[in-house]
Amino acid sequence: MKYCSTRGGVQGLSFVDSLMTGLAPDGGLLVPESIPDVTAQLDSWRDLSFVELAQQVIALFVDDIERETLDKLITEAYASFSHPEVIGWRTLGDVTLMELFHGPTLAFKDVALQLVGRLFEHVLAERGEHMNILGVTSGDTGGAAIASVRGQDNIDIFILYPDSKVSPLQEMQMTTVTDNNVHCVAVQGSFDDCQSLMKEVFADLDFKQEFHLGAVNSVNWARVMAQIVYYGYASLRFEQPPAFCVPTGNFGNIFAAYMAREMGFPMDRLLMATNENDILVRFFATGEYARGEVHYTLSPAMDIQVASNFERFLYYYFDKDAQRLKEFMQEFQSTGRASIGAPPGDDVLLATAVDTQQTLATLKSVFEQFDYVLDPHTAVAFAACQEFGKQCSAPLVCVATAHPAKFPEAVKQASPTAQATHPVLEALKGLASKKQLIPATVDAVKDLIRATVSAQPH
């Protein structure tokens, strides 16, 4: 399998090179040059465990790591999960909840990042190299990425996050990791500011090469690749193709669902649920992709107005026309808006927005009806799923992306008697922490990386 950039400037990359490259040098995102067709394998895959299916699916995208080694890395990645099946299942009325928060940081990001961290470690060891990972987070990516590489000698990780705009427990999951290779950086701005800074730093190819920068966000194809697995795994549990409802911020998780469907896994429609940050809802309603003001909500991982993975969907929507995609993204970057001229008319991907009051009402009603506590991101998806269910005959799967204990304030606001705790998070309270505060400028990010790397004994 070879990889190319959505913007046409890179072709023929191996998987390992795409893993280490992260964001393409031309500013685009890397995608496989072809999408594997798995329809002939589906019957033989139905009885596989999650890990066994992961080994089958991921091998389709990775042909430059020895298969025995790859299978071992996949097995090791999921050994740290507390659920024997890796992911959990709950039935809440007509909705099946797919729990993706049984990893070490209690968030769906663990499913991909526990594997990505091991892939990085393996490749760097083989090459005898050191990497500086630069990532951004609106909450969960940071903790999951840090957990996947903490203590590794051949990796330093720098995580940018919007100061005071992630939940206190999410921040503690990052800042209480005091390993020397972990650097938590609070930025005086929004998540979109952080994401823009990361892309600008990666766009400086001389700086990227000098400091051996790598990406851990979902701009890195390996993240999406690993997430495809749980959609395929879930789809094979049902007698008829299920529909999936996904809480959506940066479009990576729903794009993994889209890719699983394109590969031939039996899946009905895909519903993306956003909060008040509804740039994607507006696009699917009008065809215009227009940046708006960031609204800060109870579901902070979705407080995003620029969904970076949306570029991958547009690449396929434009029939792999890299020039058209490049012009669209350049117009958006320069003006804050770009249009395809009309609603996309895609009957697979649907989008809806759920506001804060609906989120709180859903948290409350699910707790009262099912004695089950949702986190606020999953509540957004569950509310959308219930509405969507009125017009959909397919089995409904709601993607549960985080443990509610990460958002106790939102849970308490909705249902004062609901309990949202977890021993992993309780153990963080009172621990020493470290972080650095910087302004939202490219120079501040570069200066921090430069100073930190020069002080390290590499």
Write down the domain spans for the chain.
Answer: 88-107+222-420
SS3 278: coil
Residue 167 pLDDT class (50, 70, 90 cuts): confident
pLDDT of 97 strictly over 80: yes
Neighbouring residues of 422: CB distance < 8 A, sequence distance ≥ 6 = 106, 403, 405, 406
Q: Please tell me the least confidently modeled range out of 60-64, 179-183, 339-343, 386-390.
A: 386-390
Report residue 224 as tokens. Answer: 């999406």
Residue pLDDT, tens place only, 217-243: 888 999 999 999 999 999 999 999 999
pLDDT interval class at 321 (50, 70, 90): very high
Q: What is the pLDDT of residue 455?
A: 77
pLDDT tens per residue across span 17-59: 999 999 999 999 999 999 999 999 999 999 999 999 999 999 9
Helices 50-59, 221-235: crossing angle, 10 deg rounding: 130
Q: How confident is the model at residue 458 (pLDDT cuts 50, 70, 90)?
A: low
- Integer Cα distance of 411 and 417 in angstroms: 9
**Interatomic CA distance for residues 79 and 168, integer angstroms:** 28
Contact 112, 433 (CB under 8 A): no
Query: Which residues are CB-neighbours of 210 under 8 A, at least 6 positions away?
Result: none
Set 72, 109, 165, 412: catalytic member? 109
The pLDDT of residue 69 is above 60: yes
Q: Which residues of 289-300 are buried (b: 16+ CB within 10 A; e: fewer)?
A: beeeebeebbbb
| pLDDT (mean) for 102-131 | 96
Helix (H) or strand (E) holding 162: strand 155-162
Per-residue pLDDT of 20-30, as tens digits, reads 999 999 999 99
Q: Between these two residues, 391 and 315, which has the higher pLDDT value?
A: 315
Active site residue 435: no
Residue 191 near residue 19, CB atoms below 8 Å:
no
Q: DSSP letters of 77-127?
A: HHTT-SSTTSSEEEEETTEEEEE---STTSBTHHHHHHHHHHHHHHHHHHH
Is the pLDDT score of 108 beyond 70? yes
- Average pLDDT over the chain, rounded to an integer: 95
pLDDT at site 139: 79
List the structure tokens of 187: 């930025």
How many CB atoms are closer than 10 A to CB 114? Answer: 25
Beta carbons within 8 Å of 337's beta carbon, 6+ residues apart: 288, 289, 290, 291, 331
- Give 68: exposed, middle or buried? Use CB within 10 Å, 0-12, 13-18, 19+: exposed
pLDDT at 210: 95
Nearest alpha-carbon partner for 108 in 400, 423, 408, 405: 400
Task: Please count the CA atoms within 13 angstroms of the CA of 141 that sit on its side-chain side.
Answer: 30
User: What CA–CA distance (Å, rounded) separates 149 from 133?
Assistant: 10
Q: pLDDT band for position 391 (50/70/90)?
A: confident
Phi, psi of 140 (to 5 degrees): -85, -30
Rounded-to-5 percentages of helix, strand, coil across the chain: 45, 15, 40
Give the model's confidence band at 457: pLDDT under 50 very low, under 70 low, under 90 confident, else very high: low
Strand ranges, E, within 164-320: 182-188, 213-215, 243-247, 270-274, 288-290
Pick the CATH number of 88-107+222-420 from 3.40.50.1100, 3.40.50.150, 3.30.565.10, 1.10.10.10: 3.40.50.1100
Q: How far is CA 204 from CA 5, 207, 334, 386, 451, in A?
A: 17, 5, 18, 45, 17
Report the distance separating Cα 261 and Cα 315, nearest Å.
16
Torsion sign, CA atoms 440, 434, 296, 249: positive
The residue among 75, 79, 59, 57 whose CA lies nearest residue 67 is: 59
Q: Is the pLDDT of residue 280 over 60?
A: yes
User: How would you classify the pairing of strands 88-92 and 95-99?
Assistant: antiparallel
